[in-house]
Amino acid sequence: MTEIEAKGSDRRGAGEALSPNRGNLRRRAADKPSKDELKRLRHAEILLNVSRKCAGLESLDDILEALVEMTSWEIGCERGTLFLNDPLTGELYSRVAQGTFRREIRILNSTGVAGHVFQTGEGTVIHDAYADSRFNAAIDQQTGFTTRNIVCVPVRTVKGEIIGVMQSLNKKEGQFNEDDLDLLADMTTQAAVALQSSQYVERMKKTRAKEMEFLDLVADVTSQLELGTLLQRVMSEATRMLGADRSTLFLNDEKTNQLFSRVAQGTSTGEIRLPNHLGIAGATFTSGKSINIPYAYADLRFNPSFDKQTGFFTRSILCVPVTNKAGKVIGVTQVLNKRGGPFTEEDEQRLKAFTAQVAIALENAKLFDDVQRMKNYNDSMLESMSNGVVTLDENGKIVTCNRAALGILKAETKDVVGKAASDFFVGPNAWVVERLAKVKESQAIDTMLDANLELGGEKVSANLTLMPLISGEGGKKLGSMLMIEDISSEKRMKATMSRYMDPTIAAKMLEGGQDLLGGASTEATVMFTDIRGFTTITEEVGAQGTVAFLNEYFTLMVECITKEEGMLDKFIGDAIMAAFGLPIAHDDDPDRAVRAAIAMIRELRRWNADRAARGQKTIDMGIGLNTDMVVSGNIGSPRRMDYTLIGDGVNLASRLESACKSYSARILISDNTFKKLKGTYRTRSVDQVVVKGKTEPVGVYEVLDYHSEETFPNLVDVVTYFNEGVRQYRAAKWEKAIEKFQKALEFNAKDKLSETYIERCTYMKEHPPADGWNGVWVMKEK
């Protein structure tokens, strides 16, 4: 026999035992009573069992559970729920939903089938739940239960007051009928008195529990002296007590006329300060009266900027003054967003009583906090510093030494504190005492960078700052202070890392900038350089000579890059890849790249002059620059990674460097770079070209600032005629273009780019392009 069947048998047995006419019932059964009589008797027996069962239970939860179980058994359904109305929130709630977890369920008393029955006071039978517009199918989707049919009745008292709704789901055999509706209504009416009584008892118990909890809470809170903990505790308890989302307790700072709170629930903001006359809190503080706002955005005093900053949405506000025993307002408590509706008069009175009790504790805690902060300020500051701090009195005796200093000095507190500086800083460190004496005499700060100390048998590199200590009152001399920053590890690490990567990257990594290694899309100006005729040189000088040649060449070129704060990315054979704008961006990175390129050509010329004087072969180089969005970060495998750049912008810079050969140029820049230049440079528009692997044309410019009158005579005249020739060329006026380029050659016969364009115009003249010529040249080589 199942548990439910057993309970059913118990109920039927109990019903027979309580029947005063048991013998008569048996005699009438022998006389074969009619079906209607049997039905009425059974109905009466069920109602009697309901009364008996409810009378034997005390708690509301037990009555709800028993009534759901009994109705489900008698009606013959799969699941049942008894909802009671909460007049304070306008919700129907149930603490037992048969077949699911035991928890409190709340729904608005105007929605769904249950809400309809509660509002109309009329029971209903629904044979097809999903065909009824009042049915909410979302509940089935959430629980996985499938509702087929429903019977639902209002729970009425004997006076006709509706106090809830009883709902049964899925008749096990057949469909719900009017008999089920009547039986369910009678059973709930029979239990209504017990339900009302239990609700009343429960409310009384909760009220008493709240009051006892309130007294315990006040006693607990007022015993706290630490202000930050007290503020947090008061806000937490106020939020919980009123069923709100968050709260803030503001105290008045009489020195600044500001309301401040060190902790605001639900935010990561530190101390909050605002003028004590502004906003809802300011209005409460100045008036000394409570403010209860059901709809915050409808009140002109409400400032929505904080909601916009945090993403929080303020619905309702309750703000009450915090008054001390002398009647003085010392702050305000502000509670936001009452769950289930606006704050009530009862909420306001409870919050007033609570804040009145904790006001004395707040004043005591504030005084204690001020004293404690003054007492611990120096110690906490010194201990939290990463640099070593040693303080000395007027006699040169060490008074304090923080944890960081003990670590740097490789000593324990007993070995340092209380000793004279002249007894501790001895031998190779005696110069520290001499510098301290000078500071004491001059009362001026003395700084030493990268100083050498010998501590614990080891050499330590440190930055030292020595300064006098002077009292804020009267300027009395208190002693001196020595600050020590140990840079030994950073110095060694940076020196090692800088040999294998750009010094800027190394420095950034040592500063803790790990984010730059994670990959980022950034605008940068990418530079590619390459030596012309490098293969010939290697054949002439051999392996060792090649290495020596490259080391000397790279030293000169990298210096030009780092001078403009560019980042050396890598050496690729005899080529250099660098970037400007990484890892630290500047507002003139394209200009920095152009200046670096000009400096590299000039430096190359000086080096060539030295090489020629030594009888060595001179070299030439090409440089390509492009400004674009690139992806930078650590790229590679877990075993080997390089910080580098990738993207189309990188590829275009490489293509421009290669194009220097075709255009007899040394520095070519893209129009992306040209448009972002802030300085004025001598340039000329070289071409509109589609590079290898691309379909869209790119404007290409040649930078000529590295030239002198000797290397490029009549530069202005040449550029003027050249630019006019290019304009004619793009208009497909070949003869006029040739004429302008020849004119440019008259001013500088060595301008090979003008010769290149004459050859191109001659070819185009003999082989005219198709209609729609736009002056774009397609490069066939990389």
pLDDT at 31: 59
If DSSP codes are grouped into helix, strand and coil, which group holds residue 317? Answer: strand
Quick one: which of 360, 312, 359, 352 has its CA closest to 336? Answer: 312
Strand 458-470 and strand 446-455: the pairing is: antiparallel
Q: What is the predicted pLDDT for the residue at 122?
A: 92
Pairwise pLDDT comparison (295 vs 1), residue with the higher score: 295
Amino acid (one-letter) located at 652: L
pLDDT, tens digit, 9 for 90 and up, residues 397-456: 998 888 888 888 888 888 889 999 889 898 888 889 998 999 888 888 888 888 888 888
* Neighbouring C-beta atoms of residue 251, cutoff 10 Å: 21
pLDDT over threshold 50, residue 533: yes
Task: Say which amino acid occupies 279.
Answer: G
Is a pLDDT exceeding 50 seen at residue 322? yes
**Contact, 300 vs 308, CB < 8 A?**
no
At residue 10, the pLDDT reads: 45
Q: pLDDT band for position 579 (50/70/90)?
A: very high
pLDDT in tens, 728-748: 998 889 999 999 999 999 999
For the segment 362-378, the average pLDDT, to the nearest whole number, is 67
The pair of structure tokens assigned to 83 is 């909802």
Residues 718 and 714: their CA atoms lie apart, in Å, by 6
Beta strand 683-690 with 776-778 is parallel
Buried b / exposed e over 660-687, threshold 16 CB at 10 Å, is bebbbbbbbbbbbbbebbeeebebbbbb
Calculate Rg over the CA atoms of the chain: 45
Which range is least confidently modeled, 66-80, 126-140, 201-215, 610-624?
Answer: 201-215
| Between residues 673 and 498, the one the model is more confident about | 673
SS3 category, 424: helix
Average pLDDT over residues 479-505: 71
At 504 the pLDDT is 62
Average pLDDT over residues 78-104: 74
In the chain, pLDDT over 70 holds for what percent of residues? 82
Q: Is the pLDDT of residue 29 over 60?
A: no
> Please, which pLDDT band fits residue 199 given cuts at 50, 70 and 90?
confident
Q: Compute the mean pLDDT over every residue in the chain, rounded to the nearest whole number.
A: 81
Write the single-letter amino acid at 94.
S
Q: What's the pLDDT at 97? A: 46
Cβ contact 435:448 at 8 Å: yes
Average of per-residue pLDDT across 569-586:
89
Instruction: Read off the pLDDT band of 201 (50, 70, 90).
Output: confident
Q: Which two tokens stand for residue 202?
A: 């429960």
Q: How far lies 620's CA from each of 613, 651, 666, in Å?
A: 16, 22, 8
- What is the enclosing helix (H) or strand (E) of 712? none
Q: How far, in Å, CA of 640 to CA of 497, rounded?
A: 15
Of the listed ranges 292-296, 448-452, 511-515, the least confidently predicted one is: 511-515
Tell me the percentage of the chain whose pLDDT exceeds 90: 25
Q: Looking at the predicted structure, is the pLDDT value of residue 725 above 80?
A: yes
Highest mean pLDDT among 90-104, 283-297, 534-548: 283-297
Q: Which amino acid is at 701?
A: Y
**Residue 776 neighbours by CB under 8 Å, 6+ apart:** 688, 689, 690, 697
Q: What pLDDT is attached to residue 511?
A: 61
pLDDT of res. 525:
95
* pLDDT confidence bin for 222, thresholds 50/70/90: low
pLDDT band at 19 (very low <50, low <70, confident <90, very high): very low
Statement: residue 71 has pLDDT above 50 = yes
551-565 mean pLDDT: 91
Question: 235: closest CA among 222, 249, 224?
Answer: 249
With a cut of 80, say whether residue 271 has pLDDT above it.
no
- Peptide bond before residue 638 is cis, with ω within 30 degrees of 0: no
Instruction: Tell me: pLDDT of 223 over 90.
Output: no
Residue 17 has pLDDT above 50, yes or no: no
* pLDDT at position 15 over 80: no
710-721 pLDDT per residue, tens = 999 999 999 999
Question: Which residues does 24 contact at the CB level (< 8 Å), separation at least 6?
Answer: none
Determine the Cα–Cα distance for residues 85 and 371; give it in Å rounded to an integer: 54
The band of 106, judged by pLDDT with boundaries at 50, 70 and 90, is: confident
Distance CA(538)–CA(543), nearest Å, equals 7
Distance of CA 640 to the CA centre of its chain: 31
Task: Decide if pLDDT at 220 tops 70.
Answer: no
pLDDT reported for residue 303: 82
DSSP for 26-37, please give it.
Answer: HHHHHT---HHH
Please give the Cα distance from 750 to 746 (Å, whole number).
9
> Is-above-0.95 flag for pTM?
no
Residue with tokens 């300060």: 273
Could you tell me which residue, 653 or 492, shows the higher pLDDT? Answer: 653
Quick check: 446 and 434 in contact, CB under 8 A? no
**Residues 387-390: contacts with CB under 8 Å, at least 24 apart:** 387/483, 387/484, 387/485, 388/482, 388/483, 388/484, 388/485, 388/486, 389/481, 389/482, 389/483, 389/484, 390/416, 390/481, 390/482, 390/484
Residue 326, pLDDT score: 79
Q: Are 145 and 99 in contact (CB under 8 A)?
A: yes
Tokens of 306: 């904080």
DSSP category for residue 665: -
Q: Which of residues 499 and 172 earns the better pLDDT score?
A: 172
Asked if pLDDT for residue 497 goes beyond 60, the answer is: no
Residues 6 or more apart whose Cβ sits within 8 Å of residue 187: 46, 47, 50, 67, 70, 71, 74, 166
pLDDT tens sequence across 229-243: 666 777 777 788 788
Q: Inform me whether the pLDDT recorded for 11 exceeds 50.
A: no
| CB distance 568 to 576 below 8 Å | yes
d(CA 479, CA 154): 85
In Å, how far are 75, 127, 140, 505 from 175, measured between CA atoms? 11, 7, 19, 78
